[in-house]
Structure 1
Amino acid sequence: MTTSQRLEAGQPAPPFSLPNQDGETVSLSDLAGQRVILFFYPEAMTPGCTTQACDFRDNEASLLAAGYTVIGVSRDAAAKQTAFRERDALPFDLLSDEDKAVHLAYGAWGEKNSYGKTVTGVLRSTFVISPDGTLEHALYNVKATGHVAMLRKKLGLV
């Protein structure tokens, strides 16, 4: 069983280069100088993940206006990310981390409770990365519903 070490605010954000829904590579280094909200979700087009992604969609204009770039990451193949993005009119990139290397680097893979059983899988997590590449927030086991409102409060955007 492979689990990963959780990150904390103040640590450098682990570098990544992953394909987006269009097969284009998105790298953290390409986003240097920007504030990034990187959210990890278990599986595209499932009810909870749809709720979470649509919440980011519905708040993206105000997040962009505040200087944040939103990016989602899951283990789904790029084709499924494309279908998810199109089905729900998601305006931000969805990255494909099929080998879960980036999940492991961010501590977004490990043990969790699912319907009363301990399982290993994706930990719904969100990271706010500062323009200098350090983590402003490392939030684990977030809820799909109400997460963006909680994040907006943490970011002082309410």
Structure 2
Amino acid sequence: MTERLEPGDVAPAFTLPDADGNEVSLADYKGRKVIVYFYPAALTPGCTKQACDFTDNLDVLGGAGYDVIGISPDPPEKLAKFRDKESLRITLLADPDKKVTEAYAAFGEKKNYGRTYLGVIRSTVVVDEEGKVERALYNVRATGHVAKIIKDLGL
């Protein structure tokens, strides 16, 4: 199990395919702040709410210099369907082998209805212009999370 990221850590580098199959790297965002969030599955109620919240607040976040990247284990085809169905304007990346999700400590033991299993832990990592972790939030709720980030960042 990877240690959770802390402010000041170097954000793990990654290159993953987006919804259209194009490679996107964290390095592409050097000089910009980026909110990288991890969610369990596209086209599910909680994940849809969270992605729509990020899209609805993209002008506020973008205006303050933040880009938003959502990462899930879904294949690019499912991400494209998700983006198109919900009119999402955030970058969605596919991490089917969960290597990046694990590097960010967003994969691990979860409990649901008394059952313990391994899965994606809903998490958000804010990366600064230098590629360092500004803040790392784990086990976040899908609802109200974006509003909390905006408040925490003072936007």
Q: TM-score, normalised by structure 2?
A: 0.98
Cα deviation code 1:35-92 (max 9, x no counterpart): 0000100000001100110110111111000110011000000000000000000001
Root-mean-square deviation over aligned CA pairs: 0.7
Unaligned runs of 5+ in 2: none
The match for 2:108 among 107, 110, 121 is: 110
Given residue 150 of structure 2, which amino acid in structure 1 is its aligned partner?
R
Conserved? CA contact 1:12–1:133, under 8 Å? yes
Q: Equivalent residues in 2 for 1:19-38 (5 A)?
A: 19-38=17-36
Q: Distance in 2 between matches of 1:133 and 1:152?
A: 20
Q: TM-score, normalised by structure 1?
A: 0.96
Cα deviation code 1:14-54 (max 9, x no counterpart): 00000000110000111101100001000000011001101
Moved more, 89-98 or 3-12: 3-12
User: Corresponding residue for 1:88?
Assistant: 86
User: Corresponding residue for 1:152?
Assistant: 150
Conserved? CA contact 1:34–1:130, under 8 Å? yes
Cα deviation code 1:100-141 (max 9, x no counterpart): 000010000001111222211000000100000000011000
